[in-house]
Amino acid sequence: MPRSRFDLSDLTPGVIAILGVLVVFFGLFLFYPILHVLLNAFYTDQQFSVEFFGLMLQSPVQQRALINSFELGIVTTALTTIIALPMAVALVRYDFIGKGLLGGLALVPMIMPPFVGAIGMKQMFARFGSINLFLLETGLIDAPIDWFGGGGFWGVVILEALHLYPIMYLNIAAALANVDPSLEESARNVGAGGFRLFRTVTFPLMLPGYFAGAIIVFIWAFTDLGTPLIFEFREVVAVQIFNMSTDVHANPLGYALVVFVVLVTLALFYLSKKFFGGRHYEMVARGHVASASKRATSFETVLIWGMLLSITGIALIPHLSVVLTSVTERWFMTVLPSDYTVAYYGQIFAHDLTLLSIRNSLWLSVMSTVIDIVLGVAIAYLLTRRRFPFRDALDAVAMLPLALPGLVLAFGYISGFSGTILDVRVSPVPLLIIAYAVRRLPYMVRAAYAGFQQMSVTLEEASMNMGAGPLRTLWKITMPLVLANVAAGAILSFSFAMLEVSDSLILAIKEQYYPITKAIYSLMGRIIDGPYMASAMGMLGMILLACSLLFTGKVLGRRMGQLFKV
């Protein structure tokens, strides 16, 4: 039987128009700035040089960095899967007391405000940080444990896993929620149970969602900069790129590395598509919702609580220490601060920067998320529902921003649009929004993609058949049905836009445009109370983000509930 796809409308004027918009958007805001930076970098002595690629590949340092990054990606992906899978199963398939709370809590580690997270980690895990001091005082150890030093790689893996598992959890939960329970029931009927059921039925059915998450986690871990920097684990690609691009004497080798990482990412992406692509698990029309959850027995409840609390508990240690830091009057080599104060919160609110930056961040993130939703849904729609030339290329391009360091993109924007109406000197707002949107687009595309893939095409065909044009079908039928997935993608896009660091630091050049991240950075610069003020501001950001998550959850009501099981 031929794949049921529209094709009368393949390459209709509408599709061509959308493709046109996408080509212009990516051309202008992705390829042009990147090429601008790369060509400038490789243009030495009046000629274009590709020698840097050869030098990069020969360098033992870069070789090791590439291997390490690859390892990091694999191990982190595996570890997040191990953490997130039972979590998602527990939260989607079981009903128990406090489910909403735990479901919400599971997402909090994702919202780690930058810079201050690192402060928190150091405060806790330094050799004379709280944890070691506690262990020393209780006599459990007699010499401080070297958390950061000995375990460079381990530390990075564990912290990344603890930071990234919510992404995996969100995707797996969305996928699980969309698996038609009747399929599982019928499998149970023919005698498949327990693990076998999971392996043979549930798992294959939730694969598209799982891979949406796994690809993001892998690429994230592969290109993550923040975590290795905390641990000073330099032998990874992202840190190498960062080092070279922040080198006072700008080293173009870093850009060669960027090109390489982009190629590696695209290759991996392509391979995973080759292997896992083309698999369509459409949900049966009637099986969209009502994923069967069953009451957990009291034993299971205890088990689930134990598992979820211990995972989130560990993942939230840095956040906890940020909370503590933000109310610290004095904290020097003691387990807990010796004096507390709420003065920083007072100062924060007295500060012009605070409200301004909150307003800016909300506005910038909302706008960029709107752009992401529009573009992401359009791309995912085209990818899953239409056939057109270079479809794989579009897919890859949409994923490409994941592999691009924000720093490189931001420099591209600054230099590429200097002197145009988009010059950051005129107003950085448009470029900030676009930068956020471009950087976070992959989350949206993958989430929407999984949604479209799981939704039966006949639901849309039925609408067309009833006389609805493609647009109205999209609006009335498709969108409501992929809303859960789109919401998941939007939440990720929004949250990470709020936490966006590198482009904010570089693009938001005047105080009136500072987003929260740059405000935090700026407060960190305060010599004496910097960390405390920054922590207080970071807390504010975290609370804000948590509130917007909850708010979204409330507004989307039931549908969100299917996702988070709140």
Partner 1 sequence: MNRRPVIRSLLQGLLLRGLLFTGVVFHADAPASISAQDRLVIVSPHWEGIRYEFTRGFEAFYREETGRGVELEWMDVGGTSEIIRFIKSEFTGKPEGIGIDMMYGGGSDPFVELARLGLLAPYRLPDDQLDGLPAEAGGYPIYDADYRWYGATMAGFGIMYNKRVAQLVELPVPETWEDLADPGLYSWVGAADPRKSGSAHVPFEIMLQVYGWERGWQIITALGANARGFANSGSQVPKDVTSGEVAYGMAIDFYAWAQINAVGPEMIGYTMPDNLTILNPDGISILKGAPNMAVAQSFLRYVLSEAGQRLWMQKPGTPGGPEQFQLNRFTVLPRLYQRIDPAHTSVTFNPFAWQSTFVYDAEKGAARRHIVDDMIGVFVIDAHAALQRTWRRAMETGGVERLLPSLGAVPITEEESLTLGDRWRDQAFRNRTLLSWSRLAAEKYGSGGSGWAGARYLLFSGSGLVLAGMVLYLWRLKRRSG
Partner 2 sequence: MVSLTLKGITRKFGDVTAVDDVSVEIAGGELFFLLGPSGCGKTTLLRLIAGFYAPDAGSILFDDKDVTRTPPHRRNTGMVFQNYALWPHMSVRENVAYGLVLRKVSTSEQNDRVSEALGMVRMDRYGERSPNQLSGGQQQRVALARALVIRPDVVLLDEPLSNLDARLRLEMRDEIRRIHDETGTTMIYVTHDQKEALSMADRVAVMDMGAVAQTGAPRSIYDRPANAFVADFIGETNFVAGRLTRSELPLAVETAVGVLHSTVEPVEELSLGDEVVCSVRPEAIRVSDPDADAVEDTAPGEDTAAREGENVMNGVVRQTVYLGDHEQYSVRLDDGTPMKLVDHRPGRQLAGPGAPVRLTCDASQVVVLGKPG
Quick one: 18 or 217, whose CB is closer to partner 1?
Answer: 217
Residue of the chain from 458, 475, 554, 555 that contacts partner 2 (CB under 8 A): 458
- Kindly state the tokens that stand for 325: 């830091």
Quick one: 293 or 427, whose CB is closer to partner 1?
Answer: 427
Site for partner 1 contains 171 (CB under 8 A): no
* Residue 289 binds which entry of partner 1, partner 2, none, CB below 5-8 Å type-dependent: partner 2
Pick out residues in 333-352 that bind partner 1 (CB under 8 A). Answer: 333
Count CA atoms closer than 13 A to 489's CA, side-chain side.
35
Quick one: 148 or 381, whose CB is closer to partner 1?
Answer: 148
* Residue 52 binds which entry of partner 1, partner 2, none, CB below 5-8 Å type-dependent: partner 1
* Residue 466 binds which entry of partner 1, partner 2, none, CB below 5-8 Å type-dependent: partner 2
d(CA 2, CA 38): 44
Quick one: 203 or 305, whose CB is closer to partner 1?
Answer: 203
* Residue 293 binds which entry of partner 2, partner 1, none, CB below 5-8 Å type-dependent: none
Please name the helix (run of DSSP H) or strand (run of DSSP E) that holds residue 414, with its range, or none: helix 406-416
CB of 439 to partner 2, least distance (A): 32
Site for partner 1 contains 137 (CB under 8 A): no
Site string for partner 1, 519-538 (x = CB under 8 A): ---xx-xxxx-xx-------
Pick out residues in 307-336 that bind partner 1 (CB under 8 A). Answer: 330, 332-333
d(CA 241, CA 229): 12
Tell me the C-alpha to C-alpha distance, in Å, between residue 377 and each of 15, 328, 380: 13, 45, 5
Q: Which residues contact 454 (CB under 8 A, 6 or more apart)?
A: 175, 178, 208, 209, 281, 282, 283, 485
Pick out residues in 349-388 that bind partner 1 (CB under 8 A). Answer: 359-360, 362-363, 366-367
Residue of the chain from 329, 392, 461, 511 that contacts partner 2 (CB under 8 A): 461
Pick out residues in 419-438 that bind partner 1 (CB under 8 A). Answer: 419, 425-427, 429
Site for partner 2 contains 205 (CB under 8 A): no
Of 73, 117, 409, the closest CA to residue 236 belongs to 73
443-462 burial by CB neighbour count: b if 16+ within 10 A, else e? bbbbbbbbbbbbbbbebbee
CA 168 to chain centre: 10
Site for partner 2 contains 343 (CB under 8 A): no
* Residue 25 binds which entry of partner 1, partner 2, none, CB below 5-8 Å type-dependent: none
Quick one: 63 or 297, whose CB is closer to partner 1?
Answer: 63
Tell me the C-alpha to C-alpha distance, in Å, between residue 187 and each of 158, 220, 293: 36, 35, 16
d(CA 320, CA 326): 10
38-67 burial by CB neighbour count: b if 16+ within 10 A, else e? bebbbeeeeeeeeebeeebeeeeebeebbe
* Residue 249 binds which entry of partner 1, partner 2, none, CB below 5-8 Å type-dependent: partner 1
- Kindly state the tokens that stand for 15: 């599709």
CB of 141 to partner 1, least distance (A): 13
Residue of the chain from 9, 49, 182, 341 that contacts partner 1 (CB under 8 A): 49
Pick out residues in 128-187 that bind partner 2 (CB under 8 A). Answer: none
Question: Helix (H, G, I), strand (E, B), or coil: what is residue 494?
Answer: helix
Quick one: 174 or 437, whose CB is closer to partner 2?
Answer: 174
* Residue 285 binds which entry of partner 2, partner 1, none, CB below 5-8 Å type-dependent: partner 2
Site for partner 2 contains 289 (CB under 8 A): yes
d(CA 354, CA 520): 9
Question: Helix (H, G, I), strand (E, B), or coil: what is residue 47?
Answer: strand
Site for partner 2 contains 472 (CB under 8 A): yes
Pick out residues in 3-42 that bind partner 2 (CB under 8 A). Answer: 3-4, 6-9
Site for partner 1 contains 282 (CB under 8 A): no
292-304 burial by CB neighbour count: b if 16+ within 10 A, else e? ebeebeeeebebb
Neighbours of 469 (CB within 10 A): 12
Q: Where are the alpha helices (DSSP H) in 43-105?
A: 51-58, 60-93, 99-105
Quick one: 184 or 224, whose CB is closer to partner 2?
Answer: 184
Question: Helix (H, G, I), strand (E, B), or coil: what is residue 130?
Answer: helix
- The binding site for partner 2 (CB under 8 A) comprises 1-4, 6-9, 284-286, 288-290, 456, 458-459, 461-470, 472-473, 476-477, 480-481
